[in-house]
Amino acid sequence: MLTHLLRLKYKWLSILVCGMIALACTSRTSTEYAVSSPGNRLRVTIWEDTIGALWYSVTRDGQTIIAHSSLGIIQEEADLSSGLTIVGVSSTEKVVDTYETLNAKRRLNRYSANQRVFRLRNADDKGFDLVFQVSDDGIAFRYHFIGPDNQGIIIKEELTSFRLPITAKAWLQPVAPAKSGWEQTNPSYEEHYEQGIPVGTPESTNTGWIYPALFQVDSTWLLLTESGLDGRYCATRLRPESPDGEYRIGFPDPKEVMPSGGLLPVSDGPFYSPWRVLTIGSLATIVESTLGLDLAEKAIVIDEDVLKPGKSAWSWINSKDDFIVYEEQKKYIDFAADMNWQYCLIDVNWDRNIGYEKIKELADYAATKNVGLLLWYNSAGSWNTVNYTPKDKFLTSESRNEEFKRIKAMGIKGVKIDFFGGDGKSVIQYYIAILEDAAKHGLLVNFHGATLPRGWSRTYPHLMTVEAVRGFEMVTFGQEDADKQASHATILPFTRNAFDPMDFTPMNLHKIYTHVKRRTTPAFELATSVLFLSGIQHYAESPEGMEHIPENIQDFLRALPNSWDDVRFVSGFPGKDVVIARRADNRWYIAGINGEAKEKEMTIDLRQFDGMIKAKLLTDGQEFGTFSQSIVPLAETTLNLKPNGGFIMVLE
pLDDT score of 11 more than 80: no
Helix, strand, coil % over all residues of the chain, rounded to 5 = 25, 35, 40
What pLDDT does 28 receive? Answer: 64
pLDDT score of 494 more than 90: yes
Question: Hey, which residues does 372 pair with through a beta bridge?
Answer: 343
Q: Which of 590, 487, 485, 503 is nearest to 539 (CA)?
A: 503
Task: Say how far residue 379 (Cα) sits from the centre of its chain.
Answer: 21
User: What is the mean predicted confidence (pLDDT) over 101-115?
Assistant: 97
pLDDT digits (tens, 9 = 90+) for 277-331: 999 999 999 999 999 999 999 999 999 999 999 999 999 999 999 999 999 999 9
What pLDDT does 29 receive? Answer: 61
User: What is the mean predicted confidence (pLDDT) over 477-506?
Assistant: 98
What pLDDT does 625 receive? Answer: 86
Give the whole-angstrom CA distance, residue 119 versus residue 130: 6
User: What is the mean predicted confidence (pLDDT) over 117-137?
Assistant: 96
For every residue of 104-149, which 3-state class applies, written as one string?
CCCCEEEEEEEEEEEEEECCCCCEEEEEEEEECCEEEEEEEECCHH
What pLDDT does 13 receive? Answer: 38
pLDDT score of 14 more than 70: no
What pLDDT does 264 receive? Answer: 86
- State which amino acid sits at residue 266: V
What pLDDT does 265 receive? Answer: 82
Give the whole-angstrom CA distance, residue 524 versus residue 618: 10
Q: How confident is the model at residue 383 (pLDDT cuts 50, 70, 90)?
A: confident
Quickly count: other Cβ atoms within 10 Å of residue 103's Cβ. 24
Encode burial over 425-456: b for 16+ CB neighbours within 10 A, e otherwise: bbbbbbbbbbbebbbebbbbbbbbbbbbbbbb
User: At a CB cut-off of 8 Å and minimum separation 6, what does 114 contact?
Assistant: 35, 36, 37, 38, 92, 93, 94, 95, 133, 134, 135
pLDDT digits (tens, 9 = 90+) for 595-646: 999 999 999 999 999 999 999 999 999 998 899 999 999 999 999 999 999 9
What pLDDT does 22 receive? Answer: 45
Contact present, 222 and 279 (Cβ < 8 Å): yes
pLDDT digits (tens, 9 = 90+) for 451-480: 999 999 999 999 999 999 999 999 999 999
508 phi and psi angles, rounded to 5 deg: -100, 105
pLDDT digits (tens, 9 = 90+) for 138-188: 999 999 998 666 677 899 999 999 999 999 999 999 999 999 999 999 999
Mean pLDDT for the chain?
94
Contact present, 236 and 275 (Cβ < 8 Å): no
Provide the percentage of residues in the chain whose pLDDT is more than 90: 90
User: What is the mean predicted confidence (pLDDT) over 347-352?
Assistant: 98
Q: How confident is the model at residue 1 (pLDDT cuts 50, 70, 90)?
A: very low
pLDDT score of 221 more than 90: yes
What pLDDT does 384 receive? Answer: 80
pLDDT score of 4 more than 50: no
Contact present, 414 and 444 (Cβ < 8 Å): yes
- Domain 310-560 CATH class label: alpha beta
Minimum mean pLDDT range among 202-206, 258-262, 386-390: 258-262
578 phi and psi angles, rounded to 5 deg: -160, 140
- State which amino acid sits at residue 7: R
Give the orientation angle of helix 522-531 with respect to helix 551-559, to 10 degrees: 10
pLDDT score of 10 more than 90: no
User: What is the mean predicted confidence (pLDDT) over 105-128?
Assistant: 96
Domain residue spans of the chain = 24-294, 310-560
Q: How confident is the model at residue 51 (pLDDT cuts 50, 70, 90)?
A: very high
What pLDDT does 354 receive? Answer: 98
Q: Would you call 288 helix, strand, or coil by DSSP? A: helix
DSSP assignment of 359-419 equals HHHHHHHHHHTT-EEEEEEE--STTS----SSBSTTSSHHHHHHHHHHHHHTT--EEEEE-
pLDDT score of 16 more than 80: no
Give the whole-angstrom CA distance, residue 587 versus residue 48: 52
User: What is the mean predicted confidence (pLDDT) over 202-206?
Assistant: 95
pLDDT score of 552 more than 70: yes
pLDDT digits (tens, 9 = 90+) for 540-551: 999 999 999 999
- Model pTM? 0.95
* CATH assignment of 24-294, among 2.40.30.10, 2.70.98.10, 1.10.3720.10, 3.90.800.10: 2.70.98.10
What pLDDT does 2 receive? Answer: 36
What pLDDT does 30 receive? Answer: 60
Question: Hey, which residues does 44 pair with through a beta bridge?
Answer: 35, 58
pLDDT digits (tens, 9 = 90+) for 223-234: 999 999 999 999
pLDDT digits (tens, 9 = 90+) for 565-585: 999 999 999 999 999 999 999
